[in-house]
Amino acid sequence: MDYFKNLLDLLKVEREEDRTQYRKLTETTSIAERRANGLTWYPIAIRGSEMSRGDYVSVEVERTTHQDIPHQLRFGMPAVLFSNHDPRTDRVEGTISHQSGNRLRITLRVDELPDWSRDGKLGVEVLFDDNSYDEMEAALKLANSLAEKSDNRLINVLTGSTSPTFHPDTPPLSLPRLNPSQVAAVGKILTANELAIVHGPPGTGKTTTLVQAIKALHKQDNKKLLVVAPSNTAVDLLSEKLHDEGLSVLRVGNPARVSERLMALTLDHKVADHPAMKEARKLKKQANEFKNMAHKYKRNFGKAERDQRKALFDEAHRIMKEVGNTEQYVIDDLVGKAQVITATLVGANHYTVRNLTYHTVVIDEAGQALEPACWIPILKAQKVVLAGDHCQLSPTIKSAEAARKGLSHTLLEKCIKLHPEAVSLLDEQYRMHEHIMGYSSQVFYKNKLKAHGSVARHSLFDSDTALVFVDTAGCGFDEKLDGTSSTNPEEAALLMKHLTQLVTDLSTRYTKENFPTIAIISPYKQQINVLKDQLLHTPELQPYSDRISVNTIDSFQGQERDIVYISMTRSNAEGEIGFLSDIRRMNVAMTRARKKLVIVGDSATLAGLPFYADFIAYAEQLNAYQSAWEFM
């Protein structure tokens, strides 16, 4: 089927580009640069090792310095343990089997630790993640063969060759905590035979709605459900909320947030707690002891020692096989009892749950999910629920060519266009003052969003305005190019001045404990560095530094603050705005604020794009336009 062949081609282009970028990052750079790029932990110390599945050895390591550097070492990623004495030869590959804080466990493809691991200078580095690409490719190939030879209704609906169907009788729903549009969405999910879509604009309670829908689905047919999302953070949030609603949840994989409550839901934790594992742990200890005894025969070799060593190893392996069987029994038992399995898209194919099938799969944050990854969980089900917002950030794609040829179009986007009858729009938001919401609703949601009574007019204080556009046109604040990213130090300074005035005013109205939360965001990474630096050098703001966060727009998706400042950064005579023209990213930025949104930018540069020209007109209508000259 051309549909899947085309996706396979795009995925190939993306994999090649991703690999090329990874090579660039690793092959020519020093260990310090790789560490700064988040690819490497170095130095590390080994905190323990033991035998694990399939006669491999599993090692727990800890990074002992540079602990504040963000990193990309995640559960399930391929990685390598290496020695910096001779990194080319002293290396063993494996897979990260757990990661939290500054510790991780890596399962190495050897049955004993190499000698060089005792000589210090050790590190762990992420390898290129072929596994995720392999999983996506395999799913697309399987989808293609199913589409060609059988009448798979779900595949036909998702690829647009047939329309979704719904059974006529909606069960009467009593969901007092939900508003009418949320109840309607749950109703549509329950009556759908193949596909239902929940379109959740910012602040409309998409997660709350999904949780109630999943609960109702389980009640409807008492079958196991699969709930997935592209990011660990989204999976964690759903796992906790489903657990709070009394469902028995099994979280496959390694949570991003290390809370006790979440850990208790993970497969690892439940396996360790299972009564049958007590005996297995004793056996494992015994196997490790046999193995350590075998190592003693390493130095002085004769035939007798060799035989003795082999006998000890054989016994250790035999015991580990028994442990493996017990573990498998425990996993099967736990998976069998779970009502909801939660995982990331690729995690849905983890070896522990790989062969399960489900009646329904729910994909949350589907607007940020790469389509090939969605097919991994979809092929395990007869019905799919997609939830998300295609008017917010789309997935990150490394290859410009693949993006241009359609990889950036998500399955959510395609299905909303193909099957409007399957879509439920959540139309009431609980986050923003109506003036903050208004422009976004007009441009992205056909003016259908309304603000709930509890937030429609809420403000920082009685006479305050919820929206401000501070126009720097004519101030001569020209942007500078810093590497590949734009900065505008003068605009940043003006923003700090504006914020300082606001904070000074608010400090007379709020105590320190209930002081409003503040986000300062910009689309440009280097401008964020400039803003962070200026914040440190603004003494009036220091007492409130724990209430102020500064970061890129992308890192605020899904979050909210009382007050949000956006530094638009771009200001030039040519009217070039670069990726500010990605209006979906701006939609995310403009909808993070609850009570006050302040946008600082140059109208002369921005207004070349109708989106910004119309926004400035919207601000003027609300009397929310200020010239920067008022602050100069």
Grouped pLDDT means (10 residues each) for the chain, 632 residues: 96 97 89 92 92 84 91 90 90 91 92 88 94 97 91 94 91 91 97 97 97 96 96 94 97 84 91 91 88 74 82 88 91 96 96 95 97 98 97 94 96 98 98 98 98 97 96 94 90 97 96 96 94 96 96 88 97 92 95 98 96 97 94 76
Are residues 296 and 369 located together in one domain of the fold?
Answer: no
Are residues 464 and 451 located together in one domain of the fold?
Answer: yes
Count structural domains, the chain. Answer: 4
What's the pTM value of the predicted model, to 2 decimals?
Answer: 0.92
The residue among 128, 157, 186 that closes a domain is 128
Q: What is the pLDDT of residue 486?
A: 93
Indicate whether 23 belongs to any domain.
Answer: no
Indicate whether 32 belongs to any domain.
Answer: no
CA distance 584 to 220: 37
CA distance 285 to 466: 63
Q: What is the pLDDT of residue 299?
A: 60
Indicate whether 223 belongs to any domain.
Answer: yes
* Residue entry with tokens 């063993």: 92
The C-alpha R_g of the chain, in whole angstroms, comes to 27
Q: Is the dihedral of CA 473, 477, 483, 485 positive or negative?
A: negative
Digit-coded pLDDT (tens) for 535-572: 999 999 999 999 999 999 988 888 999 999 999 999 99
Helix, strand, coil percent values for the chain (each to nearest 5): 45, 20, 35
CA distance 457 to 434: 7
Are residues 476 and 613 located together in one domain of the fold?
Answer: yes
Q: What is the pLDDT of residue 151?
A: 81
The CATH number for 69's domain is 2.40.30.270
Are residues 456 and 559 located together in one domain of the fold?
Answer: yes
Are residues 618 and 555 located together in one domain of the fold?
Answer: yes
Indicate whether 397 belongs to any domain.
Answer: yes
Are residues 190 and 233 located together in one domain of the fold?
Answer: yes
Are residues 236 and 348 located together in one domain of the fold?
Answer: yes
Q: What is the pLDDT of residue 374?
A: 98
Query: The domain containing residue 57 runs over which residues?
Result: 38-128
Reported in sequence order, the residue ranges of 416-567 that DSSP labels E, i.e. its strands, are: 423-425, 428-429, 450-451, 467-471, 480-482, 485-487, 518-522, 548-552, 561-567
Phi, psi (rounded to 5 degrees) for 130: -65, -30
The CATH number for 527's domain is 3.40.50.300
The residue among 411, 426, 441 that closes a domain is 426
The residue among 336, 357, 387 that closes a domain is 336
CA distance 555 to 532: 15
Indicate whether 56 belongs to any domain.
Answer: yes
Are residues 79 and 179 located together in one domain of the fold?
Answer: no
CA distance 309 to 168: 70
DSSP, residue by residue, 523-566? S-HHHHHHHHHHHHT-GGGGGGGGGEEEEESGGGTT--EEEEEE
Are residues 391 and 516 located together in one domain of the fold?
Answer: no
Tell me how long the chain is. Answer: 632
Indicate whether 14 belongs to any domain.
Answer: no
Are residues 440 and 401 located together in one domain of the fold?
Answer: no
CA distance 622 to 468: 9
Are residues 520 and 483 located together in one domain of the fold?
Answer: yes
Indicate whether 254 belongs to any domain.
Answer: no
Indicate whether 263 belongs to any domain.
Answer: no
Q: Which residues pair with 161 in a beta bridge?
A: none
Are residues 613 and 481 located together in one domain of the fold?
Answer: yes
CA distance 348 to 334: 16
